[in-house]
């Protein structure tokens, strides 16, 4: 079973046999899969008139707003792992779609809290179902053991890179 990265690795082996390009075999596949998967994920989000980043914020509010008071932009940025600048644009779009509210915190008027509207919760709940089913489809070629092994390998790689000084 050969893929597009195998062809690139073979070309490098011929053009520059003195260079070990084996890291390209892993990172090239991760990069290619990321692009392919992003397209497949976007197809589901589009059914709900959402961009991936908008879905991420709605999903963050759905899972992390445990007390129902909403989250601050900082809390959203921490939970969604994006910058505050990216958050502002996404929040503006979600507010225009009436999927969130943005209001002063009654406990501290200088703090703005973001919460899902009822419609926002309905949209994210429906999108989540389809999103997870789509992800399951994308990984269906793998057995449960293979998925668990891949998850562990990717976790180790991510942990190392997230925790570098």
Domains in the chain: boundaries: 50-165
Residue 153: which residues within 8 A CB-CB, separation 6 or more?
A: none
> Which one is predicted more confidently, 109 or 99?
99
What are the residues facing 4 on neighbouring strands?
Answer: none
Mean pLDDT of the chain: 93
> Which one is predicted more confidently, 68 or 101?
101
> Which one is predicted more confidently, 165 or 67?
67
* pLDDT one-digit tens code per residue, 109-141: 888 899 999 999 999 999 999 999 999 999 999
Mean pLDDT to the nearest integer, 91-118: 92
Question: What pLDDT is recorded for position 82?
Answer: 72
Mean pLDDT to the nearest integer, 8-34: 97
Report residue 96 as tokens: 């225009």
Best CA proximity match to 121, nearest among 103, 106, 101? 101
Q: How far apart are CA 37 and CA 76, in angstroms?
A: 24
Question: What pLDDT is recorded for position 83?
Answer: 73
pTM of structure: 0.87
Q: Is the pLDDT of residue 160 over 90?
A: yes
CA distances from 65 to 15, 69, 114 (A): 54, 7, 9
Topology of domain 50-165, CATH: Arc Repressor Mutant, subunit A (1.10.10)
Q: Kindly report the CA angle at 75 between 69 and 78, in degrees rounded to 5?
A: 150
Asked if residues 77 and 89 have their Cβ atoms less than 8 Å apart, the reply is no
Question: What pLDDT is recorded for position 85?
Answer: 75
> Which one is predicted more confidently, 31 or 79?
31
């Amino acid at each position: 079973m050969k893929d597009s990265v195998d062809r690139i690795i073979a070309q490098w082996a011929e053009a520059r046999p003195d260079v070990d390009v084996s890291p390209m075999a892993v990172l090239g596949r991760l990069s290619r899969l990321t692009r392919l998967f992003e397209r497949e994920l976007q197809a589901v989000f589009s059914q709900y008139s959402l961009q991936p980043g908008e879905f991420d914020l709605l999903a963050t509010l759905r899972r992390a707003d445990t007390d129902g008071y909403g989250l601050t932009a900082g809390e959203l940025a921490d939970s969604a792992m994006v910058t505050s600048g990216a958050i502002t644009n996404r929040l503006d779009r979600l507010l225009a779609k009436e999927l969130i509210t943005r209001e002063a915190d009654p406990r501290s008027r200088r703090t703005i809290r973001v919460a899902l509207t009822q419609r926002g919760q309905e949209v994210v709940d429906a999108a989540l179902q389809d999103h997870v089913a789509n992800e399951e489809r994308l990984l269906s070629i793998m057995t449960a053991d293979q998925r668990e092994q891949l998850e562990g390998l990717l976790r180790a790689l991510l942990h190392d890179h997230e925790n570098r000084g």
